[in-house]
Amino acid sequence: MFTVGIDLGTTASVVSYVKDGKPQVIRICGNTSIPSVVNYSSSLPIVGREAIYKADSLNTIFSIKRHIGSNRKFLNRTPTEISADILYYLKSKTEELVGQNIDAAVITVPAHFSDIQRTATKRAASIAGLKVLRLINEPTAAALAFGIEKRKNGMFLVYDFGGGTFDCSLLRLEDGVFQVLATGGDNHLGGDDVDNDILNNNFSKNGISNITNDEYILGKLVAKYLKENLKEQDKIESEFICKGKKYNFCLTKQELKEFSSKSLNRTLDICRQVLEDANIDKSEINNVILVGGMTRLKLIKDSVYEFLKVPLCDDLNPEEVVSLGAAIQAQSISEKNSNMILIDVVSLTLGIETFGGGVDRIIYRNTPIPISERREYTTYQDNQHGIKFHVVQGERLLADECQTLANFELKGIPSMPAGMPRVIVDFNIDINGILSIKAFEKTTGISQSVVVTETPVLSESDVFNILQKAYEEQENDKIKIRNIDISIELNRLLKFWNLIINDIPFNERKIVSKKIKELNSQLSSKNFDATILLKSEIESIIGKFLDEIISCRLSGKKLADMRRI
Partner 1 sequence: MNYFEIFDLPTKYNLDENNLSKRYMQKQKSLFSANSNNISVINVAYNVLKNPIKRGEYYLGLYNRDCNKMSEELAFQMFNMRDEYENLLNKKEKQDFQIKLRQSLDNELEALSKLSDDIDKFQEKFIKIKFLDSFLGKIKEDVYSRD
Strand pairing class (387-393; 350-353): antiparallel
Min. distance of Cβ 556 from partner 1 in angstroms?
28
Min. distance of Cβ 140 from partner 1 in angstroms?
15
Build a one-symbol-per-residue string for 97-136: x at contacts with partner 1 by CB under 8 A, - elsewhere. Answer: ----------------------------------------
Q: Given the complex with partner 1, which of 51 and 435 has the nearer CB atom? A: 435
Q: Let me know: does 160 contact 138? Beta carbons within 8 Å.
A: yes
| DSSP H or E stretch at residue 295 | none
Q: Given the complex with partner 1, which of 194 and 345 has the nearer CB atom? A: 345
Min. distance of Cβ 333 from partner 1 in angstroms?
9
Q: Let me know: does 343 contact 180? Beta carbons within 8 Å.
A: yes
Q: Is 551 helix (H, G, I), strand (E, B) or coil?
A: helix
Q: Does residue 311 bind partner 1 (CB under 8 A)? A: no
Q: Let me know: does 82 contact 64? Beta carbons within 8 Å.
A: yes
Q: Is 6 helix (H, G, I), strand (E, B) or coil?
A: strand
Which one of 22-30, 367-375, 489-497, 521-529 is the stretch in contact with partner 1 (CB under 8 A)?
367-375
Q: How far is CA 43 from the centre of its chain?
A: 35
Q: Is 447 helix (H, G, I), strand (E, B) or coil?
A: strand
Q: Does residue 494 bind partner 1 (CB under 8 A)? A: no
- Give the Cα-Cα-Cα angle 315, 316, 320 (nearest 5 degrees): 155
Q: Is 424 helix (H, G, I), strand (E, B) or coil?
A: strand
Q: Does residue 1 bind partner 1 (CB under 8 A)? A: no
Min. distance of Cβ 431 from partner 1 in angstroms?
5
CA distance 146 to 150: 6
Min. distance of Cβ 364 from partner 1 in angstroms?
9
Min. distance of Cβ 432 from partner 1 in angstroms?
10
What count of residues does the chain have?
Answer: 565
Phi-psi region of 76 (alpha: psi -120 to 50; beta: other; left: phi over 0): left
CA distance 4 to 341: 17
Q: Does residue 279 bind partner 1 (CB under 8 A)? A: no
Q: Given the complex with partner 1, which of 428 and 513 has the nearer CB atom? A: 428
Which one of 173-181, 316-324, 408-416, 438-446 is the stretch in contact with partner 1 (CB under 8 A)?
173-181
Residues forming beta bridges with residue 358, ordered by sequence position? 398
Q: Given the complex with partner 1, which of 286 and 404 has the nearer CB atom? A: 286
Q: Let me know: does 217 contact 242? Beta carbons within 8 Å.
A: no
Q: Given the complex with partner 1, which of 37 and 434 has the nearer CB atom? A: 434
Q: Does residue 547 bind partner 1 (CB under 8 A)? A: no
From the list 7, 197, 454, 503, the catalytic residue is 7
Build a one-symbol-per-residue string for 408-437: x at contacts with partner 1 by CB under 8 A, - elsewhere. Answer: --------------------x-xx------
CA distance 397 to 482: 11
Q: Does residue 372 bind partner 1 (CB under 8 A)? A: yes
Which one of 50-58, 72-80, 170-178, 209-217 is the stretch in contact with partner 1 (CB under 8 A)?
170-178
Q: Given the complex with partner 1, which of 20 and 175 has the nearer CB atom? A: 175
Q: Given the complex with partner 1, which of 178 and 408 has the nearer CB atom? A: 178
Min. distance of Cβ 125 from partner 1 in angstroms?
19
Q: Does residue 24 bind partner 1 (CB under 8 A)? A: no
CA distance 196 to 259: 9
**Residue from the set 475, 495, 556, 565 that interacts with partner 1 by CB under 8 A:** 475
Min. distance of Cβ 175 from partner 1 in angstroms?
7
What is the 3-state secondary structure of 452-479? CCCCCCCCHHHHHHHHHHHHHCHHHHHH
What are the DSSP E strand ranges found in 296-418?
Answer: 312-313, 341-343, 350-353, 359-363, 371-377, 387-393, 403-410
b/e burial code for range 123-162 (CB count within 10 A of at least 16 → b): bbbeebebebbbbbbbbbbbbbbbbbbbeeeebbbbbbbb
Q: Let me know: does 211 contact 219? Beta carbons within 8 Å.
A: yes
Build a one-symbol-per-residue string for 329-348: x at contacts with partner 1 by CB under 8 A, - elsewhere. Answer: -------x-x--x-x-----
Q: Does residue 483 bind partner 1 (CB under 8 A)? A: no
Q: Confirm whether 160 is a catalytic residue.
A: yes
b/e burial code for range 235-267 (CB count within 10 A of at least 16 → b): ebebeeebeeeebebbbebebbeebbeebbeeb
**Residue from the set 21, 30, 76, 175 that interacts with partner 1 by CB under 8 A:** 175
**Residue from the set 176, 311, 417, 505 that interacts with partner 1 by CB under 8 A:** 176
Q: Given the complex with partner 1, which of 411 and 478 has the nearer CB atom? A: 478
Q: Does residue 370 bind partner 1 (CB under 8 A)? A: yes
| Cβ neighbours of 444 (radius 10 Å) | 13
From the list 81, 115, 160, 195, the catalytic residue is 160
Min. distance of Cβ 273 from partner 1 in angstroms?
10
Min. distance of Cβ 221 from partner 1 in angstroms?
39
Q: Confirm whether 138 is a catalytic residue.
A: yes
| Cβ neighbours of 172 (radius 10 Å) | 19
From the list 85, 115, 138, 454, the catalytic residue is 138
Q: Confirm whether 514 is a catalytic residue.
A: no
Which one of 3-11, 67-75, 98-106, 171-179 is the stretch in contact with partner 1 (CB under 8 A)?
171-179
Build a one-symbol-per-residue string for 498-527: x at contacts with partner 1 by CB under 8 A, - elsewhere. Answer: ------------------------------
Residue 166 phi, psi (nearest 5):
-120, 135
From the list 65, 224, 227, 535, the catalytic residue is 65
| Cβ neighbours of 31 (radius 10 Å) | 14
Sorted by sequence, the CB contacts under 8 Å of residue 56 that are 6+ apart come out as 39, 41
Residues that bind partner 1 (CB under 8 A): 174-177, 179, 336, 338, 341, 343, 367-373, 428, 430-431, 474-475, 478
Active-site residues: which are they?
7, 65, 138, 160
